[in-house]
Amino acid sequence: MPLSHSLIALFVTLLWGLSFVVIKLGVGTTPPLLLAALRFLFAAVPAVFFVPRPKTRWTNVVAYGFFLGVAQFGLLFAAIAFGMPASLASVVMQAQVFFTILFAAILMNERPGPHQVVGGVVAGLGLVLIAWPRMTGGGAGPFLMTVIAAGCWGVANIVSKRAGRVDMLGYIVWSSLVAPLPLLGLSLWLDGPDQVMAAFTRMDGGTLAAVAYLAYPTTIFAFGIWAYLLSRHPAATVTPFALFVPVAGILGSVLILGEAVHPIEAVGGAVIVLGLAFNVFGLRLVGRRAV
């Protein structure tokens, strides 16, 4: 992958890492599914009136909007609202790398190399370390929701690859139009109309700033660039750059939110990052040893 594409992939992961901090702040004042609905509403409107519809099947656009907007972010926002630490969520969500590689191997015949398989096994052990103490307490639900959200991200990555080389700005804008109504409907059902209306009446500048950050830099720009890279390079080349998301997520959570990372979670997170790192650099290391 060209250096310019690598640098922009790193910038995208920085935006995503800090978005976990913004989500945590946002769900403190706004119901999570309502916040997610507003994110995609602002990402789609008014841009949808000016950006041409992408030249791909409607089913592909709807599928991407559903798996990315409704499934992935609906689950992630809810998990963080229910107690999943932003720092830990930024680490666990990187399981999407291995979900994407697995789905690409099954559905698109993109066979992973041995170093990617080893990296996936190592990262899986890290997830087990994080999950173990949570399976007996109240953290089991948010943790599992975050893992499923990562799986939905992997599905969305494959859907975007199947769209081919399309206008990615249009693809993101039009697919964002899919998510607001289902998310709003779920929020009305789960939170109740009174709570949703109360959230609108107490909405302040901080909430609007959170929505703007989540809608524009991290949705239209970041996912547009990510989908662009996936359409031009193998999934196993692009997705490992998500290794840098938890770095920004953890630093932001500690410095801005004051979150404390427990020792077992720190070890599990380090093991996940080690697995991701081997996925990125393992082929080079194997090649050097062979020489």
Statement: residue 280 has pLDDT above 70: no
Q: What percent of the chain has pLDDT over 90?
A: 39
Report which of 83, 63, 255, 91 is spatially closest to residue 161, judged by C-alpha positions.
63
In a domain, 38, yes or no: yes
In a domain, 129, yes or no: no
Between 234 and 181, name the one with better pLDDT: 181
In a domain, 136, yes or no: no
Q: What is the domain count for the chain?
A: 1
In a domain, 278, yes or no: no
In a domain, 42, yes or no: yes
Rounded to 10 deg, the angle between the 32-44 and 180-191 helix axes is 160
Q: What percent of the chain has pLDDT over 70?
A: 92
- Domain span at residue 165? 3-111+145-254
pLDDT tens digits, 217-240 = 998 888 788 878 877 887 767 867
Is the whole model's pTM more than 0.75, yes or no?
Answer: yes
Report which of 175, 162, 23 is spatially closest to residue 88, judged by C-alpha positions.
23
In a domain, 17, yes or no: yes
* 233 secondary structure, DSSP code: S
CA–CA distance, 63 with 66 (Å, rounded to integer)? 5
How confident is residue 204, by pLDDT bands cut at 50, 70 and 90?
Answer: confident
In a domain, 234, yes or no: yes
pLDDT tens digits, 74-124 = 999 999 999 898 888 888 887 887 788 888 888 887 777 777 778 778 877
- DSSP code per residue over 91-139: HHGGGHHHHHHHHHHHHH--PPPHHHHHHHHHHHHHHHHHHGGGTTSTT
- DSSP code per residue over 19-63: HHHHHHHHTTTS-HHHHHHHHHHHHHTTGGGTSPPPSS-HHHHHH
In a domain, 63, yes or no: yes
